[in-house]
Chains A and B, each alone.
Chain A
């Protein structure tokens, strides 16, 4: 089996296993979602008719959540995944009275939009800062940047988000304080709409970027310092190759690998953070819906948004893993790689 097919099937297995674990937790939890809905139905029925019809309860629970509480977990999981794969049926949202898929589908692009820009900005900063610190090691630039990175790493992103909201949003009105775009623009391919979207997304993107911002740059610095000591860098210097070229082609490329691995692990943290970021900025994405679902006890919606996060994380990690060979030619297709 080729490396790519092996990697893809591994990702698929991981995703299914993860979904199964969550599904079981969701089913088995004492006092968990299904229990709660069922108890509520029983209470209603007792109040109305004075007796309990087990069959009817199971039917109505299934209608509400797409899960019959009486079927064994593996079969129920099979039915749940079958409905998802064949009919894109994630169940019915209780609070919004719409299919979960419809609710999440229109929120998804917004969440992906925020997270991918946050990812790109955060990781670019990591690499650039790490390489610069290593190059100027021991100097004032290194010292200053190290202090800056350590400070940034110790301020949680939600604190950054709150401070930005207070200062840039409410005090100086530079950026809007919530929503995805202004009410007066017409959604579509036009300039006012795009400007509005960009302005509304600015603060959430910055705070998402802070999650991964420069987190790996100290590690990168350490690796780069080690690479700087090696002969090929010195010989490149002697040959008179420009600093920029050495920095980008020789140094960063060789030092980036361990950082790249830890970035892959960090991707899931980054996507997860949107639950908090979207909440603070009232940005209606999947994370926002997940929080709403939690507050409104809308369990099908919660399971659906959880699956969204799991899928997007798996895909991102898979993508990162498959492009590993592009970053480091030594790794080839990664078939011989033991770790990651």
Chain B
């Protein structure tokens, strides 16, 4: 645009053309794609990663999460599938290198079972997080931005969904549908997690829509969808991302609980299924010396995955939260940090 200025004389005659020009000349000065990609990469990937790395929570949480993802994607190819009679039945943990975490009632290695259950857990978490984020963002943004009758209708739906007790509803649905695909399980479980996100996003959109840049966009005649997509989502993306990680933890917690209770069909290997078997056939609760390892190692793997997700989302929250960032300027320098007085 800058180069165009010389082409037009500011005598009023061609001014209109300058503002609403075809943009032909602009093409010549467009930033090379590579440089643009580089810049985008720096803004959206490199610097968040750098900030994330500086916070101990995102560092530890991210590494742990990466470990689980590697375990679920590549680990399953390197670690053999659990087979019958690998070792003696009910072998304790840490006794042999062939079955490091002991064996179950059919002599299958607990460690291998845990590893081979990881992909299903990750799929469930991914499906749940995507559904929650999608539904929550849609409902929150549209109702907050459009207001009026749309807002009323969408928020009534959200409220009804929020008031319906999630777990009993899921239990009923699961009993009728008996979903076995981990992706479908994740989607069903997201029923319980999206309303809070929709609620809080709506309240943030309500404040944002009054802000200057949205006002400017509106007066330029941009459509609601363009404003929502370009301004609002970009502004709230970090918040949505943090919530997606939270949704993933809740979906994992709920799914393992349902598998543990035996409500979802035992068609896939899952930590909840392992815990259920240990509880039912191994009497792990009344005789922990006998089958305790069968119950506690999946529970430990589960808690580890949840811990990594919780830590990661907490850390992200801090990375993206400008107010907190400002207060911790020495750990994550930020130019627009508002100076705040020392408190203590």
Q: A residues near B, CB below 8 A?
A: 10, 13-15, 17-18, 21-22, 25-26, 29, 31-33, 150-151, 153-156, 158-159, 162-163, 165-166, 170-171, 218, 222, 225-226, 228-229, 233-234, 262, 265, 268-269, 271-273, 275-276, 279, 287, 290-291, 294, 302, 305-306, 309-310, 313-314, 317, 338-340
Contact = CB atoms under 8 A, between A and B. Distances in A.
Contacts of A305: 168
Contacts of B299: 159, 162-163
A170 B286 contact: yes
Contacts of A310: 163-165
Contact of A31 (B172, B173, B176, B311): B176
B240 interface: no
A101 B307 CA distance: 42
Interface stretch (B2-10, B70-78, B191-199, B213-221): B191-199
A154 B176 CA distance: 30
Contacts of A309: 165, 168
Nearest to B315: A150
Nearest to B292: A166
Given A166-B288, A226-B323, A158 B167 contact: no
B307 A25 contact: no
B165 A271 contact: yes
B263 A33 contact: no
B257 A268 contact: no
Interface string B262-291: 010000000000010001000011101000
B68 interface: no
B163 A314 contact: yes
A291 B165 contact: no
Interface of B: 57, 156, 159-160, 162-169, 171-173, 175-176, 192, 195-196, 199-200, 202-203, 206, 249, 253, 256-257, 260-261, 263, 275, 279, 284-286, 288, 292, 295-296, 299, 302-303, 306-307, 309-311, 314, 321, 323-324, 327, 340-341, 343
Contacts of B173: 25
Given A31-B176, A163-B299, A339-B202, 14 more contacts: A14-B163, A17-B160, A18-B163, A21-B160, A156-B303, A159-B303, A171-B288, A229-B327, A268-B162, A273-B167, A276-B261, A290-B171, A339-B203, A340-B199
Nearest to B300: A159
Contacts of A262: 196, 200
Nearest to A169: B285
Contact of A165 (B163, B165, B285, B302): B285
Given A33-B176, A276-B167, A340-B199, A17 B306 contact: no
Contacts of A13: 156
- Secondary structure at the A interface, as helix, strand, loop or mixed, is helix
Contacts of A15: 163
Contact of B341 (A22, A162, A171, A229): A229
Contact of A265 (B168, B199, B288, B310): B199
Contacts of A151: 307
Contact of B295 (A26, A162, A269, A290): A162
A294 B263 contact: yes
B285 A162 contact: yes
A155 B57 CA distance: 17
18 contacts: A14-B160, A18-B164, A22-B164, A22-B169, A150-B307, A150-B310, A154-B309, A154-B311, A218-B314, A234-B343, A262-B200, A265-B195, A268-B165, A305-B168, A306-B165, A306-B172, A310-B165, A338-B203
Given A159-B303, A229-B341, A339-B206, A32 B166 contact: no
Contacts of A171: 288
Nearest to B284: A166
Contact of B192 (A32, A225, A269): A269
A338 B307 contact: no
Given A31-B176, A166-B288, A218-B314, A159 B302 contact: yes
A338 B199 CA distance: 11
Nearest to A171: B288
Nearest to A35: B176
A259 to B, nearest CB: 12
Contacts of A273: 167
Nearest to A162: B285
Q: Which of B249, B275, B285, B302 has the most CB of A within 10 A?
A: B285
**Which 6 pairs show the lowest CB-CB distances between chains A and B?**
A272-B167, A154-B307, A339-B203, A309-B165, A154-B306, A272-B165
Contacts of A272: 165-168, 192
Contacts of B200: 262
Contact of B196 (A32, A265, A291): A265
Contacts of B285: 162, 165-166, 170
A33 B296 CA distance: 36
A32 B303 CA distance: 35
B200 to A, nearest CB: 8
A130 B67 CA distance: 31
Nearest to B193: A269
Contacts of B324: 222, 225
Contacts of B195: 265
A158 B260 contact: yes
